Structure 1
Amino acid sequence: MSADYTVQGSVAVVTLNNPPVNGLGLATRSASVDAIRRAEADPGIEAIVLTGAGKAFSGGADIREFNSPKALTEPTLHTLIRVVEDCSKPVVAAVHSVCMGGGLELALGCHYRVALPGAQIALPEVKLGLLPGAGGTQRLPRVVGLEMALDMVVTGTPVLSEKLAGTALFDEVFAAGTDLLAASIAFAGKVAAQRPLPKVRARAVGHPDRDAFLATARAAVKARSGAFPAPLECVETVAASATLPFEEGLAFERARFLHLMQTPESKALRHAFMAERAASKLPDVPADTPVRRIERAAVVGAGTMGGGIAMNFANAGIPVTVLETSQEALDKGLATIRKNYENSVRKGKLVQDKAEQRIGLITGTLSYEDIAGADIVIEAVFEDMGVKESVFRQLDAVMKQGAILASNTSTLDLDRIAAFTGRPQDVIGLHFFSPANVMRLLEIVRGKETGKDVLATAMALSKKIKKLGVVSGVCDGFIGNRMLEQYLRQAFFLLEEGALPEQVDAAMEGFGFAMGPFRMSDLAGNDVGWYIRKRRAVESPHIAYSKTADLLCEQGRFGQKTGAGWYDYQPGERKAQPSAWVRDMVERHSAELGLVRRPIANSEIVERLVYALVNEGAKILEEGIALRASDIDMVYLSGYGFPLHRGGPMFYAETVGLPKVLEAIRGYAAGRHGEAWLPAPLLERLAQEGKGFAG
């Protein structure tokens, strides 16, 4: 976590050395300032090369110092850049691999910049709800032009160094395979006597039609930035580079950066950023835990879920065999997989050769013997314990020793499933979300006997197939669906009391959900929830449910797949149309219950549904089903459409204030179906102690 100092002839080499991406933490900043000043004071040094060790020049700020006093302790990044820029000897940034955020801002403070091709150049702060805060919005337009700089800052998208070779950002982009250090030292020798030293701040920002361009940019960014304020702030700070003197532009940038730091949207994005990284850390599974090799996979079931799961393996280059019980079901499943790939080609998301290559990795079979050699097999059959038992007993009989036996169950007891085998240590839950080839979340369910190496393998596999793996303990519904059940209970109760599906959906979508509960249920299939409620009636008869959803399902209105659910659907279309039949059914059911329907405010709808998630999440956290509150947030952000700008249900509850959340829950507990609102003991304790879930 420092900067190394070496000398080659008359050139000092300062190497940022803070693995894994040379984050510009306090120790690294301090060592870098000392190194630059040391080289400047040495009469034998004529020039300085600044580079990064390992696989990055610098990825920017050290995420380990986010929200800590170290981030603002001197020398700050501003101070380091000023020391570099004001150095009396030329400083050459030797860029490779990754040069992002504060790393790029540091390079822009150097007098010269050289690079290898393939380096990713970016200012990605907007993805954290921020803008570059160390001169990036003022210096980048001066070297790549107003339009390119604005695009890079507003989107945060990396650009390869060779594509910037024709700009003033780089003085030279070397040929591939060049020894970067040797070439940079040679370049430094050439410019050692150059005076005055060039400074990016001295360059002007020109544009032939600046005002019209900026007006168009403002309108376009406003139209697509949604709930997030950062993109528009990025436009204004980049615009300042063309309208204000450099120092005034820097001051404006700093003011807008500090403003964004305090916005709830940025806090939510930074929380999600850190939460995603925390999700992969398991306290009792060391990072060096051996993992099993996954070179061949199998999936039992060629339905929508099984086919999607198979595509994940093929997309990662892993051959996969899909097992079905009939040739008709197998042919239909394989045809759907091919159609999905062809759709991707038609939409320009995949080239034909790649699609054929992936399709070629997927084979079908009707025999368990044909999957016996797979390293992992995932069961994706009907959500019924009897069906699961039959599958796992057969898998136990045929699969090779050391194979991982995984279940895609969304609610059932994984420990019971594991008990159907003689190798419970090899059994794990891998709960994919539909469509499995699209949705990013993967709930990794850890049974009481699941081996640590199996868990570590599952976490590594989730990354390989580009999923976000979040570990859950065993309970009915795990993290996501257990919470969702309480969310849906409240949605159905609201229908009895006076709301209609379209109002509830509009309220939740207004809050920021990608889809309201009734549109979501129609998409997933209302029969799925119906089956679970039937099981609940047997296993937990004391839990009260609205009968409204059952009345819907009794009419065969299962959603989009039947052309009717909570909404009506025209043939071949997915647009939800409010249903007169559903309205009449809901109103009639309220009357049968003896309830006088009342106007329900959207604010009550949002509060009841979101706080139902929070309360159940607190119970899950206290029971140890989830390792941390941020894991719950990642489940809901990546799998259930919870609004990203609100940071997840547990983070959102903290922004509201846990005492206020608890007060509302107690209020609902005093009303109808109060048993559904039993406050979580953890929530009560934290609210009383003035603490948050993160602690």
Structure 2
Amino acid sequence: MSRQVVHLDVDQGVAIIAIDNPPVNALGHAVRDGLVEALTRAEADPAVKVIVLACRGRTFSAGADITEFGTPPRDPGLHEVIERFDECSKPTIAALFGTTLGGGLELAMGCHYRVATESARMGLPEVKLGLLPGAGGTQRLPRLIGPEKAVTAIVSGKMIGAKAALADGLIDAVVAEPVQGAVDFAHTIGTTSPVRVRDRDEKLAAAKADPAAFERAAADAVKRLRGIEAPAACVESVRNAFTMDFEAGLAAERAMFMRLVTGDQSRAQRHVFFAEREAQKIPGMASGLKPAAIGQAAVIGAGTMGGGIAMNFANAGVPVTLVETGEAALQRGLDRVRETYDISVRRGALPAGATEARMALVSGTTDWARLAEADMVIEAAFEEMDLKKEIFARLDGVAKSGAVLATNTSTLDIDAIAAATARPADVLGMHFFSPANVMKLLEIVRGRDTSHQAIATAIAVGKAMGKVPVVVGNCDGFVGNRMLARRTTECERLLLEGALPQQVDAVVLKFGFPMGPFAMGDLAGLDVGWRIRKHRGVTAPISDVLCEQGRFGQKTGRGYYLYESGSRTPTPDPEVEALIIETSARLGVTRRAIGDQEILERMTYPMINEAARILEEGIAIRPSDIDVVWVYGYGWPVWRGGPCFHADLVGLPEIVARLEHYAGASGDEGVRPAALLRQLAEQGKGFADIGKDAKAAAA
């Protein structure tokens, strides 16, 4: 017998319709059906004067059940449920608490009134899935808060707090408790016939008379969202709210939603949404395994990376100790952390007083004995194997039994580092991305002997920090940097063969990355890659010469580009162009015109090929994990779904053919198609087919 997901209770003239579909009261078919049935009964009951729409559990509805997207529609649809509340002959009041999102807020706006608790937050985040609100959100929200504020909220997908929602007109009252507050509010509205949201037009009048303010808000909302379809559709649909009548605007919204939901961009974004959650499922790990509690943490190294990691602990409410070799370096690190918090407060990203509150959780010491207090220790020292081994050997004699011992290495062998201890089960990699207090990806690197307990704890800590944890295997560069090395090799080749940095960067920007590889290299510092190449005994003819000339990028004002007067804007440098041409001639390479399509293929296909090798070797559990790494760590555009998702869209036979061509042209067997890639192409399969198998294994 199926569980009841909608309940109806009547008390003293008030009908309370409560959704009970944990964990987030998603509006699946059973809920929609139950809502219509309960509303019909309440409306027909002469004892009922007012109807309250509520939810049980920890939150109001988080919206539609997105697992239904792409499946045959089942009546009643959400828009039909909302229409029933909208047309109800009796006043309807939505009682909001927790987070009210997407279809949940659209349902609430279909009610005649809304009340919310002080801590409630609400929003329409569909744009983050490559969609627009498809059940009236783009038509009702402008009628409640005005088109300018509505377009900003819908395009950003950001949540609105109860205080702002009341001031703007989205809700009618802030209450102490949702259901009782809604009942009390019901007694204040009397017998006046309610005005439907669809019939309100006072907030639209100014835009109808002069749309200039709306167009400015719309342009500002989408200015950094080039190439993405959903934000532009959101703007168009909100504009329809004051240029069309309600029914026409609603029909246009629905048509745009259907176009987006079947498009590649929304499919890609929904893929990433599910992939992010799937990445935390580790095959073979006991389902009941609980992460260890981290009451105190420590970070060895108070440099930029170490300080950023310490901030993550403080942001999660975990006391953290920064450990340095000397007082001067320690103080510089603490000062840098404080200044970073101060900047966030000045910009409004953190509330006033946040600096002192966070710094109260951050302490510093040069005394290694303090490490004995920590439940987790993360080493963030210089990327040098001997140094890391020395640190872990020393740490082994100080850290408490059972403490998780992590290294922030981006490339080095976790097993070699763990071998410096007598407790390899407690050792793993926690690879944060720079700046560590901002970037969302956390590569958790499992060594040969790393325990599931340590992995579970690292995942839990990452989630508490607001990171996206992905568990990967141990190899040179792990997943992200190993693939990036392939792109870096192609970058150097493209320059030698005829391209220039600005041409390559333009192609990568057009694809959707926030920066091109050469501008990114200048930002990170070209000396970083130079040191790694020296360690590996490899060369890069152009980049090496730039480094030998002291051109390390933005920090020196010169790299692949010029940065004049402290500017961060890259300017093409004739000296670099001359160096590139001279190097090509010296190495006997005949330069040629290289088209944008070839550049794009060489910037993506070798990485996709390396992803296949990573999967062959078991370094990544599933293709979607690789996609998550590249979306959250390297700026791969989320609306393209990640390298593996993108490869399936292009078609693996096409990628195999082009890789064969480039391998033959370059003589680089590393570009030759991987066995797995070739096999999938021959079988007419894609990376998604591997993902299905991995998901079944994890289950």
Give the alignment's TM-score, normalised by structure 1.
Answer: 0.91
Alignment of 1:502-513 (within 5 A): 502-513=502-513
The equivalent residue for 1:118 is: 119
What is the letter of the counterpart of residue 448 of structure 1? Answer: R
CA distance in 2, matches of 1:136, 1:345: 33
State the match for 1:636 in structure 2: 630
- SS in structure 2 at match of 1:398: coil
Is contact 2:152-2:217 (8 Å) kept?
A: no
> How far is 1:256 from its partner?
1.6
1:606-621 correspondence to structure 2 within 5 Å = 606-621=600-615
Q: Of the candidates 539, 544, 551, which is equivalent to residue 550 of structure 1?
A: 544
Tell me the residue number matched to 2:18.
Answer: 15
Amino acid at match of 1:594: G
Matched, 1:61 2:77: no
For the 8 Å contact 2:413–2:474, the answer to whether it is kept is: yes
Map of 2:290 onto structure 1? 290
1:618 alignment partner AA? A
Aligned to 1:656: 650
Pairs within 5 Å for 1:262-277: 262-277=262-277
Counterpart Cα distance in 2 of 1:322 and 1:469: 23
Give 2:596's aligned residue.
602
Q: Which residue of 2 is the match for residue 100 of structure 1? A: 101
- Opposite residue 197 of structure 2, the aligned amino acid is V
Contact 2:652 2:680 in 1 (8 A): yes
In structure 2, distance between residues paired with 1:233 and 1:359: 43
2:142–2:241 Cα contact (<8 Å) kept: yes
Distance in 1 of aligned mates of 2:529 and 2:511: 24
Structure 1 segment 542-581 matched on structure 2, within 5 A: 546-570=540-564, 572-581=566-575
Q: Report deviation, 1:294.
A: 1.2
Aligned CA distance change for structure 1 residues 669 and 209 (closer, same or farther; 3 Å): closer
The Cα shift of 1:439 comes to: 1.7
SS of the residue aligned with 2:405? strand
Task: Give, in angstroms, the shift of residue 66 of structure 1.
Answer: 3.4
**Aligned partner of 2:200 among 191, 203, 217:** 203
Give how far 1:54 is off.
Answer: 1.2
Distance change (3 Å), C-alpha of 1:49 and 1:272: same
Q: Residue type matched to 1:157 in 2?
A: K
Cα distance in 1 between the residues matched to 2:45 and 2:68: 32
Which residue does 1:281 correspond to in 2?
281
| AA at the equivalent of 1:670 | G
**C-alpha contact (below 8 Å) 1:308/1:437 kept by paired residues:** yes
Which consecutive unaligned segments of at least 5 residues does structure 1 have? Answer: 538-543
1:366 matched to which residue of 2?
366
CA deviation profile, 1:20-71 (whole Å, cap 9, x unmatched): 21110112112222222333455554543221111222111123333333xx
Q: Deviations over 1:386-405 (max 9, x none)?
A: 11111110000111111110
Structure 1: distance between partners of 2:114 and 2:565: 59
Tell me the residue number matched to 2:476. 476
Partner of 1:625: 619
Alignment of 1:170-319 (within 5 A): 170=171, 172-176=172-176, 178=177, 180-185=178-183, 187-188=185-186, 194=191, 198-204=195-201, 206-213=204-211, 214-221=214-221, 223-286=223-286, 288-319=288-319
State how far apart, in whole Å, the 2-side matches of 1:355 and 1:401 are: 33
How far is 1:443 from its partner?
0.7
Aligned to 1:385: 385
Evaluate the alpha carbon distance shift between residue 344 and residue 124 of structure 1 in structure 2; reply closer, same or farther with a 3 A threshold. Answer: closer
Secondary structure of the corresponding residue to residue 444 of structure 2: strand
Q: Which letter does structure 2 place at the counterpart of 1:208?
A: A
Q: 2:557 & 2:216 partners in 1: Cα distance? A: 42
Residue 610 of structure 2 aligns to which amino acid in structure 1? E
Per the alignment, do residues 443 and 167 of structure 1 end up closer, same or farther by CA in structure 2, a change over 3 Å counting?
Answer: closer
Deviation, structure 1 residue 188: 4.9
Deviates more, 1:109-118 or 1:588-597: 109-118
What letter corresponds to residue 401 of structure 1 in structure 2?
A: S
- Counterpart CA distance in 2 for 1:367 and 1:168 is 56
Q: Structure 2: how far apart are the matches of 1:160 and 1:259?
A: 31
Q: CA deviation at 1:351?
A: 5.3
Secondary structure of 2:321's partner?
A: strand
The code of the aligned residue for 2:27 comes to L
Query: Residue 217 of structure 1 contacts residue 235 of structure 1 at CA under 8 Å; is this kept in 2?
Result: no
Distance 1:6 1:137 in 2: 32
2:429 is the counterpart of 1:429: yes
Is residue 2:344 matched to residue 1:344? yes
Counterpart for residue 586 of structure 2: 592
- Counterpart of 1:127? 128
Q: 1:233 to 1:339 in 2, by over 3 A?
A: same
Q: How does 1:6-85 map to 2 (within 5 A)?
A: 6-42=9-45, 45-69=48-72, 72-85=73-86
Amino acid at match of 1:505: D
Aligned residue in 2 for 1:540: none
Q: Name the residue aligned to 2:693.
A: none
User: Tell me, which stretches of 5 or more residues in structure 2 are unaligned?
Assistant: 690-699
Q: Partners in 2 of 1:272 and 1:199 — Cα distance?
A: 37
Distance 1:244 1:621, change over 3 A: same
Structure 2 counterpart of 1:332: 332
How far apart in 2 are the matches of 1:348 and 1:113?
A: 29
| Partners of 1:360 and 1:131 in 2: CA distance | 42
Alignment CA distance shift 1:314-1:185 (3 Å): closer
1:141 corresponds in structure 2 to: 142
Q: Aligned-pair distance for 1:183?
A: 4.1
- Residue by residue, what CA displacement relative to the aligned partner does 1:339-379 show, whole Å, maximum 9, x if unpaired? 43344344444456322343343333333222222111111
Greater shift after overlay, 228-237 or 660-669? Answer: 228-237
Is the 1:493–1:546 contact (alpha carbons within 8 Å) kept by the matching residues of 2? no
**Contact between 2:139 and 2:249, CA under 8 Å: does it hold in 1?**
yes
**Partner Cα separation in structure 1 for residue 222 and residue 88 of structure 2:** 40
Q: CA deviation at 1:469?
A: 1.2
- Give the SS at the match of 2:9: strand
Structure 1 residues 453-532: aligned runs within 5 Å: 453-532=453-532
Q: Call closer, same or farther: CA 1:34–1:685 in 2, change over 3 Å.
A: farther
What TM-score results when the alignment is normalised by the length of structure 2? 0.91
Q: Contact 1:479–1:626 at 8 Å: present in 2 too?
A: yes
Contact 1:430 1:445 in 2 (8 A): yes
Contact between 1:123 and 1:157, CA under 8 Å: does it hold in 2? yes
CA distance in structure 2 between the partners assigned to 1:690 and 1:643 by the alignment:
26
Cα 1:523–1:119 shift into 2, 3 Å: same
SS of residue matched to 1:165: helix
Aligned-partner Cα distance in 2 for 1:56–1:669 = 55
Q: Structure 1 pair 165/614, CA: closer, same or farther in 2 (3 Å)? A: same
Residue in structure 1 matched with residue 673 of structure 2 by the alignment: 679
Q: Check conservation: 1:496, 1:546, Cα contact below 8 A.
A: no
- Offset from partner CA, 1:205-257 (integer Å, 9 cap, x none): 54135252244445444544422232332232223222323222221111121
Corresponding residue number in structure 1 for 2:452: 452
On the 8 A contact 2:15/2:51 being kept in 1, the answer is yes
Contact 1:497 / 1:596 at 8 angstroms: preserved in 2?
yes
Residue deviations 1:394-423 (CA, integer Å, cap 9, x gap)? 000111111110001111111221121111
Structure 1 counterpart of 2:697: none
Per the TM alignment, residue 10 of structure 1 is displaced from its structure 2 partner at its CA by 4.3
Change (3 A) 1:505 1:236: closer
CA contact (8 A) 2:95 2:114 kept: yes
**How far is 1:527 from its partner?**
2.7
CA distance in 2, matches of 1:243, 1:376: 58
Task: Give the Cα separation in 1 of the matches to 2:304 and 2:20.
Answer: 48
Post-superposition offset of 1:128: 2.2
User: Are the aligned partners of 1:313 and 1:319 in contact in 2 as well (CA < 8 Å)?
Assistant: yes
